[in-house]
Protein backbone atom coordinates (compact mmCIF):
# COMPACT_ATOMS: atom_id res chain seq x y z
CA UNK A 1 0.00 0.00 0.00
CA UNK A 2 1.35 3.39 -1.01
CA UNK A 3 1.44 6.31 1.41
CA UNK A 4 0.98 9.42 -0.70
CA UNK A 5 2.50 12.57 0.73
CA UNK A 6 -0.05 15.39 0.43
CA UNK A 7 0.49 18.61 -1.48
CA UNK A 8 1.15 20.34 1.82
CA UNK A 9 4.26 18.18 2.24
CA UNK A 10 5.97 20.15 -0.52
CA UNK A 11 4.15 23.41 0.19
CA UNK A 12 2.32 23.44 -3.13
CA UNK A 13 0.53 26.51 -4.43
CA UNK A 14 -3.21 26.19 -5.01
CA UNK A 15 -3.97 25.24 -8.61
CA UNK A 16 -5.76 27.50 -11.06
CA UNK A 17 -8.82 26.32 -12.96
CA UNK A 18 -7.73 23.11 -14.61
CA UNK A 19 -8.57 20.68 -17.39
CA UNK A 20 -10.96 18.56 -15.31
CA UNK A 21 -10.84 14.88 -14.44
CA UNK A 22 -9.86 11.83 -16.47
CA UNK A 23 -12.67 9.70 -17.89
CA UNK A 24 -12.09 6.02 -17.09
CA UNK A 25 -13.34 4.81 -20.47
CA UNK A 26 -10.82 7.04 -22.27
CA UNK A 27 -7.70 6.04 -20.32
CA UNK A 28 -5.18 3.75 -22.04
CA UNK A 29 -2.50 3.76 -19.39
CA UNK A 30 0.22 5.72 -17.58
CA UNK A 31 3.16 7.64 -19.03
CA UNK A 32 6.53 7.81 -17.25
CA UNK A 33 8.33 11.19 -17.12
CA UNK A 34 11.47 12.71 -15.66
CA UNK A 35 12.27 16.38 -14.98
CA UNK A 36 14.99 16.54 -17.67
CA UNK A 37 16.95 19.23 -15.83
CA UNK A 38 20.23 18.40 -17.56
CA UNK A 39 21.93 18.32 -14.15
CA UNK A 40 23.69 15.38 -12.54
CA UNK A 41 23.17 16.69 -9.00
CA UNK A 42 20.97 14.11 -7.32
CA UNK A 43 17.65 15.01 -5.65
CA UNK A 44 17.25 12.42 -2.90
CA UNK A 45 16.40 14.01 0.44
CA UNK A 46 12.84 14.91 1.34
CA UNK A 47 13.78 18.60 1.56
CA UNK A 48 15.50 18.55 -1.84
CA UNK A 49 12.55 16.81 -3.52
CA UNK A 50 10.02 19.22 -2.00
CA UNK A 51 12.08 22.21 -3.13
CA UNK A 52 12.41 20.78 -6.67
CA UNK A 53 8.65 20.18 -6.90
CA UNK A 54 7.93 23.79 -5.91
CA UNK A 55 10.39 25.02 -8.53
CA UNK A 56 8.80 22.89 -11.26
CA UNK A 57 5.34 24.06 -10.23
CA UNK A 58 6.44 27.70 -10.44
CA UNK A 59 7.90 27.11 -13.90
CA UNK A 60 4.79 25.33 -15.17
CA UNK A 61 2.36 27.90 -13.79
CA UNK A 62 4.30 31.15 -14.23
CA UNK A 63 6.28 30.46 -17.41
CA UNK A 64 4.14 27.88 -19.21
CA UNK A 65 0.85 29.31 -18.03
CA UNK A 66 -0.50 25.93 -16.98
CA UNK A 67 -3.02 25.43 -14.19
CA UNK A 68 -0.62 23.50 -11.91
CA UNK A 69 2.50 21.36 -11.92
CA UNK A 70 1.97 19.14 -14.95
CA UNK A 71 2.19 15.66 -13.44
CA UNK A 72 -0.23 13.65 -11.31
CA UNK A 73 2.16 11.78 -8.97
CA UNK A 74 5.92 11.99 -8.34
CA UNK A 75 8.12 9.14 -7.06
CA UNK A 76 11.62 9.82 -5.72
CA UNK A 77 14.68 7.60 -5.29
CA UNK A 78 13.87 6.91 -1.64
CA UNK A 79 10.52 5.42 -2.69
CA UNK A 80 8.35 8.31 -1.51
CA UNK A 81 5.18 9.04 -3.49
CA UNK A 82 4.14 12.69 -3.74
CA UNK A 83 0.68 13.94 -4.63
CA UNK A 84 0.92 16.54 -7.42
CA UNK A 85 -2.31 17.03 -9.38
CA UNK A 86 -3.60 13.71 -8.10
CA UNK A 87 -4.62 10.69 -10.17
CA UNK A 88 -8.10 11.90 -11.03
CA UNK A 89 -7.07 15.22 -12.59
CA UNK A 90 -5.84 15.26 -16.19
CA UNK A 91 -2.16 15.96 -16.55
CA UNK A 92 -0.63 18.69 -18.64
CA UNK A 93 2.60 16.82 -19.30
CA UNK A 94 2.00 14.32 -22.10
CA UNK A 95 1.99 16.63 -25.13
CA UNK A 96 -1.49 17.63 -26.21
CA UNK A 97 -5.13 17.38 -25.16
CA UNK A 98 -5.56 13.95 -26.75
CA UNK A 99 -2.70 12.16 -24.97
CA UNK A 100 -3.48 13.99 -21.72
CA UNK A 101 -7.00 12.61 -21.99
CA UNK A 102 -5.74 9.04 -22.63
CA UNK A 103 -2.81 8.79 -20.22
CA UNK A 104 -1.88 9.61 -16.68
CA UNK A 105 1.53 11.13 -15.91
CA UNK A 106 3.98 9.82 -13.29
CA UNK A 107 7.14 11.82 -12.63
CA UNK A 108 10.33 9.97 -11.63
CA UNK A 109 12.64 12.34 -9.75
CA UNK A 110 15.78 11.40 -11.67
CA UNK A 111 18.73 13.40 -12.96
CA UNK A 112 20.79 12.83 -16.09
CA UNK A 113 22.24 9.29 -16.27
CA UNK A 114 20.73 8.22 -12.92
CA UNK A 115 19.35 4.68 -12.65
CA UNK A 116 15.97 4.21 -10.94
CA UNK A 117 16.54 2.68 -7.50
CA UNK A 118 14.84 -0.50 -6.30
CA UNK A 119 12.75 1.66 -3.92
CA UNK A 120 11.66 3.96 -6.75
CA UNK A 121 10.67 1.02 -8.94
CA UNK A 122 8.77 -0.73 -6.15
CA UNK A 123 6.77 2.40 -5.31
CA UNK A 124 6.10 3.13 -8.98
CA UNK A 125 4.72 -0.38 -9.41
CA UNK A 126 2.40 0.21 -6.46
CA UNK A 127 1.32 3.61 -7.82
CA UNK A 128 0.51 2.06 -11.20
CA UNK A 129 -1.46 -0.69 -9.45
CA UNK A 130 -3.52 2.03 -7.73
CA UNK A 131 -3.90 3.85 -11.05
CA UNK A 132 -5.33 0.70 -12.63
CA UNK A 133 -7.89 0.37 -9.85
CA UNK A 134 -9.27 3.75 -10.92
CA UNK A 135 -8.84 3.06 -14.66
CA UNK A 136 -9.11 -0.72 -15.24
CA UNK A 137 -8.58 -0.52 -19.00
CA UNK A 138 -5.54 1.76 -18.62
CA UNK A 139 -2.91 -0.99 -18.47
CA UNK A 140 -0.25 0.47 -20.79
CA UNK A 141 3.00 1.78 -19.32
CA UNK A 142 4.86 3.97 -21.78
CA UNK A 143 7.79 6.38 -21.82
CA UNK A 144 6.90 9.97 -22.62
CA UNK A 145 8.97 9.70 -25.80
CA UNK A 146 6.50 7.07 -27.11
CA UNK A 147 3.37 9.25 -26.88
CA UNK A 148 4.42 12.88 -27.28
CA UNK A 149 3.70 14.25 -30.77
CA UNK A 150 7.06 16.12 -30.86
CA UNK A 151 10.39 14.34 -30.23
CA UNK A 152 11.65 14.14 -26.64
CA UNK A 153 14.26 12.16 -24.73
CA UNK A 154 11.98 11.99 -21.66
CA UNK A 155 12.20 10.00 -19.37
CA UNK A 156 15.88 9.33 -20.14
CA UNK A 157 17.64 6.14 -21.24
CA UNK A 158 17.79 4.42 -17.80
CA UNK A 159 14.05 4.84 -17.19
CA UNK A 160 13.22 3.81 -20.78
CA UNK A 161 15.28 0.63 -20.33
CA UNK A 162 13.48 -0.08 -17.05
CA UNK A 163 10.11 0.28 -18.78
CA UNK A 164 11.23 -2.08 -21.55
CA UNK A 165 12.31 -4.67 -18.95
CA UNK A 166 8.95 -4.44 -17.22
CA UNK A 167 10.45 -3.05 -14.00
CA UNK A 168 7.39 -0.85 -13.39
CA UNK A 169 4.79 -3.55 -14.05
CA UNK A 170 2.77 -4.46 -10.94
CA UNK A 171 3.78 -7.96 -9.87
CA UNK A 172 7.27 -7.63 -11.32
CA UNK A 173 9.81 -9.73 -9.39
CA UNK A 174 12.11 -7.89 -7.02
CA UNK A 175 14.87 -10.34 -8.02
CA UNK A 176 15.48 -8.20 -11.07
CA UNK A 177 16.21 -5.18 -8.87
CA UNK A 178 19.41 -6.47 -7.29
CA UNK A 179 22.33 -4.12 -6.89
CA UNK A 180 25.64 -4.98 -8.61
CA UNK A 181 27.03 -6.04 -5.21
CA UNK A 182 24.07 -8.36 -4.62
CA UNK A 183 24.46 -9.84 -8.10
CA UNK A 184 28.18 -10.51 -7.45
CA UNK A 185 27.34 -12.13 -4.12
CA UNK A 186 24.81 -14.39 -5.83
CA UNK A 187 27.34 -15.26 -8.53
CA UNK A 188 29.95 -16.19 -5.90
CA UNK A 189 27.41 -18.34 -4.06
CA UNK A 190 26.42 -20.20 -7.25
CA UNK A 191 30.08 -20.85 -8.13
CA UNK A 192 30.81 -22.15 -4.62
CA UNK A 193 27.80 -24.48 -4.68
CA UNK A 194 28.76 -25.72 -8.14
CA UNK A 195 32.27 -26.58 -6.94
CA UNK A 196 30.88 -28.30 -3.85
CA UNK A 197 28.49 -30.36 -5.96
CA UNK A 198 31.24 -31.36 -8.41
CA UNK A 199 33.42 -32.53 -5.51
CA UNK A 200 30.54 -34.50 -3.99
CA UNK A 201 29.77 -36.22 -7.30
CA UNK A 202 33.45 -37.08 -7.77
CA UNK A 203 33.63 -38.66 -4.33
CA UNK A 204 30.49 -40.73 -4.91
CA UNK A 205 31.63 -41.96 -8.31
CA UNK A 206 35.10 -42.78 -7.06
CA UNK A 207 33.72 -44.77 -4.15
CA UNK A 208 31.13 -46.63 -6.24
CA UNK A 209 33.63 -47.46 -8.96
CA UNK A 210 36.02 -48.80 -6.34
CA UNK A 211 33.26 -51.03 -4.98
CA UNK A 212 32.44 -52.32 -8.46
CA UNK A 213 36.12 -53.03 -9.18
CA UNK A 214 36.51 -54.94 -5.91
CA UNK A 215 33.38 -57.01 -6.56
CA UNK A 216 34.55 -57.77 -10.09
CA UNK A 217 38.01 -58.86 -8.90
CA UNK A 218 36.47 -61.09 -6.22
CA UNK A 219 34.11 -62.62 -8.78
CA UNK A 220 37.03 -63.36 -11.12
CA UNK A 221 38.92 -65.07 -8.30
CA UNK A 222 35.88 -67.15 -7.41
CA UNK A 223 35.41 -68.13 -11.02
CA UNK A 224 39.04 -69.16 -11.35
CA UNK A 225 38.89 -71.07 -8.09
CA UNK A 226 35.67 -72.81 -9.08
CA UNK A 227 37.04 -73.59 -12.54
CA UNK A 228 40.16 -75.17 -11.00
CA UNK A 229 37.92 -77.17 -8.66
CA UNK A 230 35.87 -78.37 -11.61
CA UNK A 231 38.99 -79.50 -13.45
CA UNK A 232 40.20 -81.29 -10.31
CA UNK A 233 36.82 -82.97 -9.89
CA UNK A 234 36.81 -84.17 -13.47
CA UNK A 235 40.35 -85.56 -13.08
CA UNK A 236 39.37 -87.32 -9.87
CA UNK A 237 36.30 -88.79 -11.60
CA UNK A 238 38.50 -90.16 -14.37
CA UNK A 239 40.82 -91.76 -11.79
CA UNK A 240 37.93 -93.36 -9.92
CA UNK A 241 36.47 -94.63 -13.18
CA UNK A 242 39.59 -96.77 -13.71
CA UNK A 243 39.78 -97.91 -10.09
CA UNK A 244 38.41 -101.28 -8.90
CA UNK A 245 34.65 -101.19 -8.50
CA UNK A 246 34.73 -101.80 -4.77
CA UNK A 247 37.09 -98.80 -4.35
CA UNK A 248 34.96 -96.62 -6.54
CA UNK A 249 31.90 -97.54 -4.55
CA UNK A 250 33.57 -96.31 -1.37
CA UNK A 251 34.51 -92.98 -2.94
CA UNK A 252 32.65 -89.90 -1.79
CA UNK A 253 30.05 -88.45 -4.17
CA UNK A 254 31.48 -85.73 -6.40
CA UNK A 255 29.57 -82.45 -6.64
CA UNK A 256 29.44 -80.37 -9.80
CA UNK A 257 31.12 -77.05 -9.10
CA UNK A 258 28.98 -73.91 -9.26
CA UNK A 259 30.08 -71.75 -12.18
CA UNK A 260 28.95 -68.08 -12.08
CA UNK A 261 26.42 -66.99 -14.68
CA UNK A 262 28.22 -64.55 -17.00
CA UNK A 263 24.89 -62.84 -17.81
CA UNK A 264 24.20 -61.94 -14.18
CA UNK A 265 25.85 -58.96 -12.48
CA UNK A 266 27.55 -59.74 -9.20
CA UNK A 267 25.58 -58.66 -6.14
CA UNK A 268 27.06 -55.51 -4.63
CA UNK A 269 26.56 -54.16 -1.17
CA UNK A 270 24.38 -51.09 -0.93
CA UNK A 271 26.35 -47.91 -0.42
CA UNK A 272 24.39 -45.02 1.10
CA UNK A 273 25.33 -41.67 -0.44
CA UNK A 274 26.95 -39.08 1.75
CA UNK A 275 24.82 -35.99 2.44
CA UNK A 276 25.51 -33.02 0.17
CA UNK A 277 28.26 -31.02 1.90
CA UNK A 278 27.99 -27.31 2.78
CA UNK A 279 30.20 -24.89 0.87
CA UNK A 280 32.69 -24.48 3.71
CA UNK A 281 33.20 -28.26 4.03
CA UNK A 282 33.65 -28.63 0.29
CA UNK A 283 36.26 -25.87 0.21
CA UNK A 284 38.18 -27.53 3.06
CA UNK A 285 38.11 -30.88 1.26
CA UNK A 286 39.25 -29.29 -1.97
CA UNK A 287 42.19 -27.61 -0.18
CA UNK A 288 43.56 -30.96 1.07
Q: What domains are there in the chain, each with its CATH number?
A: 4-177 (3.40.80.10), 182-287 (no CATH)
> pLDDT tens-digit profile of 9-43?
999 999 998 899 999 999 999 999 999 888 889 99
Residue with the larger pLDDT of the pair 202 and 140: 140
Q: What pLDDT was estimated at residue 214?
A: 77
Q: What pLDDT was estimated at residue 171?
A: 82
In a 3-state reduction of DSSP, which class is residue 209? helix
Q: What pTM value is reported for the model?
A: 0.61
Separation CA 223–CA 228 (nearest Å): 8
> pLDDT tens-digit profile of 188-230?
777 887 888 778 777 777 777 777 777 777 777 776 666 666 6
Alpha carbons within 13 angstroms on the beta-carbon side of residue 186 total: 9
- Does residue 107 surpass a pLDDT of 50? yes
Among the listed ranges 76-85, 86-95, 191-200, 271-280, which one has the minimum average pLDDT value? 271-280
Among the listed ranges 50-59, 72-81, 193-202, 232-241, which one has the minimum average pLDDT value? 232-241
For 267-288, what is the mean pLDDT?
Answer: 55
Geometric angle at alpha carbon 89, from 88 and 93, rounded to 5°: 125
Percent of the chain with pLDDT over 90: 51
- Does residue 253 surpass a pLDDT of 70? no
Task: For residue 177, name the pLDDT band (cuts at 50, 70, 90).
Answer: low
Separation CA 145–CA 154 (nearest Å): 6
Collect all residues with Cβ–Cβ distance below 8 Å to 276 and sequence separation of at least 6.
196, 197, 200
In a 3-state reduction of DSSP, which class is residue 81? strand
Separation CA 119–CA 125 (nearest Å): 10
Q: What pLDDT was estimated at residue 69?
A: 96
Which of 80, 175, 82 lies closest to 167, judged by CA?
175
Averaged pLDDT of the chain: 81
Task: For residue 248, name the pLDDT band (cuts at 50, 70, 90).
Answer: very low
Amino acid sequence: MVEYLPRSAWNARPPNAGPGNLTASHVDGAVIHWPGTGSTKVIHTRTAVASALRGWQDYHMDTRGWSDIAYQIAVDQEGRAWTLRGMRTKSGANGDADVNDRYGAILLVLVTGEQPSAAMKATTRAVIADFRKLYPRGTAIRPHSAVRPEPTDCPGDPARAAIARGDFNPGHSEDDDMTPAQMQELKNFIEARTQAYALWVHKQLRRDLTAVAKAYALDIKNYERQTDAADAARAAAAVWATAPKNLAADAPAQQEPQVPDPNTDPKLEDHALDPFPPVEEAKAEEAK
